[in-house]
């Protein structure tokens, strides 16, 4: 990831925030999370981190086994 890539991501994020707070300011809120500002940013980031850590934790706890687990029987 170069600086340019981060700048592009920043511009995309800012554009989406402008869309959310300016053009969608009067959008009818259908769900409880619609009242949380930048909810989908939070959900994307926290969700991704959560998926990685919870899955890895489950793997280390009891799911992951050696590749010859079934053959070693």
Partner 1 sequence: MPVEMMIPPALYMIAGAFILPILPKNLRAGIFILFPMIALAAIWSLPDGYLIKTTFVNYELILCEVSRLTRIFGIIFSLIAVIGGVYSYHQKEVGQQSAALLYAGGALGVTFAGDYFTLFIFWELMAVASTYLVWARRNKEAEKAGMRYLLVHLFGGSLLLTGILIHVGHTGSILITRLIPDGSVSSWLILAGVALNTAIPPLHAWLADAYPKATVTGAVFLSAFTTKSAVLILIKIFSGWEVLIFLGVMMALYGVVYAVLANDIREILAYHIISQVGYMVAGVGIGTEMAINGTTAHAFSHILYKALLFMGAGVVLQTTGRSKLTELGGIAKKQPVTLWLYMIGAFSISGFPLFNGFISKSMVVAAAGDAHFDTAMLLLLLASVGTFLHTGLKLPYFTWWNKSKEEIIPTKPPLNMHVGMAMAAFFCIMFGVYPSLLYNYLPFAVNYEPYTLYHLTESVQILTFTFIAFWLLRIKLAGEPTIAIDTDWFYRRTAKLVERVFVDSVNSVFDYTEKISIRVVECFVQFGRNPLAIFFEEERGTDYHADQHRASTQLLTVLIVLSFVLFALVSLII
Query: In angstroms, rounded to a whole number, what is the distance separating the alpha carbons of residues 49 and 22?
Result: 29
> Which residue in this structure is represented by tokens 């998926």?
51
Query: In angstroms, rounded to a whole number, what is the distance separating the alpha carbons of residues 33 and 18?
Result: 18
**Least distance between partner 1 and beta carbon 4 (Å):** 14
**Least distance between partner 1 and beta carbon 50 (Å):** 8
**What's the token pair of residue 50?**
């959560």
Nearer to partner 1, 3 or 31 (CB): 31
**Least distance between partner 1 and beta carbon 52 (Å):** 5
Radius of gyration for the alpha carbons in the chain, expressed in angstroms and rounded? 20
The residues of the shown chain that bind partner 1, judged by CB under 8 A, are 1, 9, 12-13, 15-16, 19-20, 23-24, 27, 30-33, 38, 40-45, 47-49, 51-56, 58-59, 62-67, 69-70, 73
């Amino acid at each position: 990831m170069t600086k340019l890539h981060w700048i592009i991501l920043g511009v995309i994020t800012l554009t989406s925030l402008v869309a959310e707070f300016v053009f969608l300011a009067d959008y009818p809120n259908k769900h409880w999370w619609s009242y949380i500002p930048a909810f989908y940013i939070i959900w994307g980031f926290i969700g991704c981190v959560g998926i990685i850590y919870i899955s890895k934790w489950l793997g280390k706890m009891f799911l992951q086994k050696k590749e010859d687990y079934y053959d070693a029987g």
